[in-house]
């Protein structure tokens, strides 16, 4: 809810703070669940057609919070446009005893999500649905990653959670000639055949970012004062004690206790990237020229190296979160082959490097910049 005593413009505290369990369902089951969702929604629902890389995705919800974040997150699609996919996000305490769950039918490109107002669920599945459509029907492919353009070259960072993707992409913005492209998701299409290019496009109008980015990019802090926020709250006494039991440094705990923006990994903001540096520091399309995979492995002493195409594809395909993309919904063998072939094509245009982020942020950033400059 929006607390009157909150120092923020808007800060929604949700019961669920992460993505929920899910299932792929048949069309028959889809029709049954859509009927249930529409019965609950009745005539009093919020809806909006989003344009996600040109694909029209329609939201149906009875959550004002989800509707308002959806409006800010995406570009709009004309009202008369027929939708390519549909997403129902319904609060229904009588369904599944009020517990959250998500369902997807690939035939109709329909998602039905019950009993969560955590916007990350809506956003991730909106991208997952458009990925399902785009890679099958249009040879447009998706990367869960960030991208910064440096002197005309698109630098894509792909990483599992907690290895520094956002930290290092925002740090790259301080390089001369750097422009922000995307924070979380990139669409790639190939233009001009073997001698052409891999063109990277943005997906979001505003970024749904972790608020703890202020640790490494303090310039953003004053911008967050104007943003809609989600789940920004102080550490509880129980959380503080848990951190101490896990031997987290006391200085870090005190920092987290003093600043709700960095207290939790699940705290988010809806930030307009143009606020960061204006039009001159932002680009919506770039040419993918390098891919940097980040990992954190203290058993591997090697910090950075160039990776061959097949090794890089195998590395991505065998990760616990396949292709380091938690937003993928359909994971059939056919889809896996489509995605492997996509990365094979991408790495021909954008050579791949692997960077181990076990050293300090400053040292790792120096290594990444050396890759960007062609020194590694």
**Angle 87-330-191 from CA coordinates, rounded to 5°:** 95
Contact 273, 203 (CB under 8 A): no
Task: Inform me whether the pLDDT recorded for 4 exceeds 90.
Answer: no
Read off the pLDDT of residues 120-162 as tens digits, 9 standing for 90 and up.
Answer: 999 999 999 999 999 999 999 999 999 999 999 999 999 987 7
Instruction: Please state, in angstroms and rounded to a whole number, the distance separating the CA atoms of residues 34 and 56.
Output: 19
Mean pLDDT of 178-182: 97
**Angle 103-105-108 from CA coordinates, rounded to 5°:** 140
56 in a structural domain? yes
Task: Inform me whether the pLDDT recorded for 29 exceeds 70.
Answer: yes
Average pLDDT, the chain: 95
* Reported confidence tier of residue 5, pLDDT bands at 50, 70, 90: low
Q: Among residues 254, 273, 292, which one ends one of the domains?
A: 273
Looking at the structure, tell me whether residues 108 and 159 fall in a common domain: no
289 in a structural domain? yes
Q: Among residues 222, 248, 273, which one ends one of the domains?
A: 273
Looking at the structure, tell me whether residues 235 and 328 fall in a common domain: no
Q: Which of 230, 240, 254 is nearest to 73 (CA)?
A: 230
Contact 186, 201 (CB under 8 A): yes
pTM: 0.95
215 in a structural domain? yes
Looking at the structure, tell me whether residues 185 and 306 fall in a common domain: yes
- What is the pLDDT at residue 39? 97
Looking at the structure, tell me whether residues 43 and 118 fall in a common domain: yes
CATH of the domain at 167: 3.90.228.20
Give residue 261's domain range: 210-273
Residues 6+ apart with CB under 8 A from 239: 263
Looking at the structure, tell me whether residues 328 and 342 fall in a common domain: yes
Read off the pLDDT of residues 103-118 as tens digits, 9 standing for 90 and up.
Answer: 999 999 999 999 999 9
Looking at the structure, tell me whether residues 27 and 104 fall in a common domain: yes
What is the edge-to-edge ordering of all strands in the sheet holding 46-52? Answer: 22-24, 101-105, 110-114, 85-90, 55-61, 46-52, 75-76
Mean pLDDT of 10-28: 97
How many CA atoms within 13 Å lie on the side-chain side of 350? 30
Q: Among residues 122, 138, 154, which one ends one of the domains?
A: 138
* Reported confidence tier of residue 163, pLDDT bands at 50, 70, 90: confident
Q: What is the DSSP string of 295-312?
A: E--TT----EEEE-HHHH
Mean pLDDT of 325-354: 98
The 3-state DSSP class for residue 16 equals coil
Task: Report the number of distinct structural domains present in the chain.
Answer: 3
Q: Which two tokens stand for residue 113?
A: 């999500």
CATH of the domain at 110: 3.40.449.10
- What is the pLDDT at residue 3? 45
Looking at the structure, tell me whether residues 115 and 256 fall in a common domain: no
8 in a structural domain? no
* Reported confidence tier of residue 194, pLDDT bands at 50, 70, 90: confident
Task: Inform me whether the pLDDT recorded for 1 exceeds 90.
Answer: no
Alpha-carbon distances of 351 from 8, 181, 200, 288, rounded to whole Å: 43, 19, 15, 9
Question: Tokens 């001369």 identify what position?
Answer: 176
What does the DSSP 8-state code read for residue 239? H
Mean pLDDT of 50-64: 98
Read off the pLDDT of residues 281-328 as tens digits, 9 standing for 90 and up.
Answer: 999 999 999 999 999 999 998 999 999 999 999 999 999 999 999 999
Number of neighbouring beta carbons within 10 Å of residue 152:
11
Looking at the structure, tell me whether residues 58 and 118 fall in a common domain: yes
- What is the pLDDT at residue 251? 94
Q: Which of 164, 126, 120, 130 is nearest to 145 (CA)?
A: 164
183 in a structural domain? yes
Looking at the structure, tell me whether residues 160 and 119 fall in a common domain: no
Looking at the structure, tell me whether residues 181 and 290 fall in a common domain: yes
174 in a structural domain? yes
The 3-state DSSP class for residue 37 equals helix
146 in a structural domain? yes
Residues 6+ apart with CB under 8 A from 374: none
Looking at the structure, tell me whether residues 91 and 124 fall in a common domain: yes
Contact 340, 325 (CB under 8 A): no
Looking at the structure, tell me whether residues 198 and 336 fall in a common domain: yes
Read off the pLDDT of residues 260-273 as tens digits, 9 standing for 90 and up.
Answer: 999 999 999 999 99
Cα dihedral across residues 304, 310, 311, 314: positive or negative: positive
Contact 268, 120 (CB under 8 A): yes
278 in a structural domain? no
Mean pLDDT of 216-237: 94
């Amino acid at each position: 809810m929006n607390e009157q005593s909150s120092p923020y413009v808007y800060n929604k505290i949700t019961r669920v703070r992460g993505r929920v369990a899910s299932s792929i369902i048949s069309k028959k089951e889809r029709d049954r669940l859509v009927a249930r969702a529409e019965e609950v929604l009745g005539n009093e629902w919020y809806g909006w057609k989003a344009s996600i890389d040109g694909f029209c995705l329609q939201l149906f919800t009875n959550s004002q919070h989800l509707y308002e974040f959806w409006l800010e997150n995406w570009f709009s699609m004309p009202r008369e446009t027929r939708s390519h996919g549909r997403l129902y996000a319904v609060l229904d305490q009588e369904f599944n005893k009020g517990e959250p769950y998500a369902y997807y039918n690939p035939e109709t490109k329909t998602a039905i999500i019950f009993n969560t107002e955590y916007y990350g669920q809506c956003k991730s599945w909106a991208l997952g649905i458009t990925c399902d459509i785009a890679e099958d029907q249009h040879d447009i492919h998706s990367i869960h990653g960030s991208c910064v353009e440096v002197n005309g070259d698109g630098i894509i960072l792909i990483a599992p959670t907690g290895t520094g993707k956002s930290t290092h992409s925002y740090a790259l913005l301080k390089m001369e000639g750097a422009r922000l492209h995307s924070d979380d998701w990139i669409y790639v299409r190939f233009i001009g055949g073997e001698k052409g290019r891999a063109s990277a496009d943005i997906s979001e109008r505003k970024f749904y970012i972790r608020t703890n980015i202020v640790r490494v990019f303090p310039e953003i802090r004053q911008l967050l004062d104007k943003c809609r926020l989600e789940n920004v709250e102080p550490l509880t006494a129980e959380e503080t004690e848990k951190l101490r039991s896990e031997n987290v440094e006391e200085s870090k705990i005190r920092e987290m206790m003093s600043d709700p923006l960095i207290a939790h990994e699940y705290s988010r903001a809806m930030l307009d990237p143009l606020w960061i540096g204006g039009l001159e520091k932002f680009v919506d399309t770039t040419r993918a020229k390098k891919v940097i995979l980040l990992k954190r492995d203290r058993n591997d002493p090697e910090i950075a190296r160039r990776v061959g195409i097949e090794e890089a594809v195998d590395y991505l395909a065998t990760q616990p979160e396949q292709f380091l993309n938690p937003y993928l919904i359909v994971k059939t063998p056919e889809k896996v082959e489509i995605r492997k072939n996509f990365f094979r094509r991408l790495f021909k245009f954008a050579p791949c490097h692997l960077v181990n982020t076990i050293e300090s942020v400053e040292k790792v950033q120096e290594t990444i910049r050396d890759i960007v400059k062609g020194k590694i």
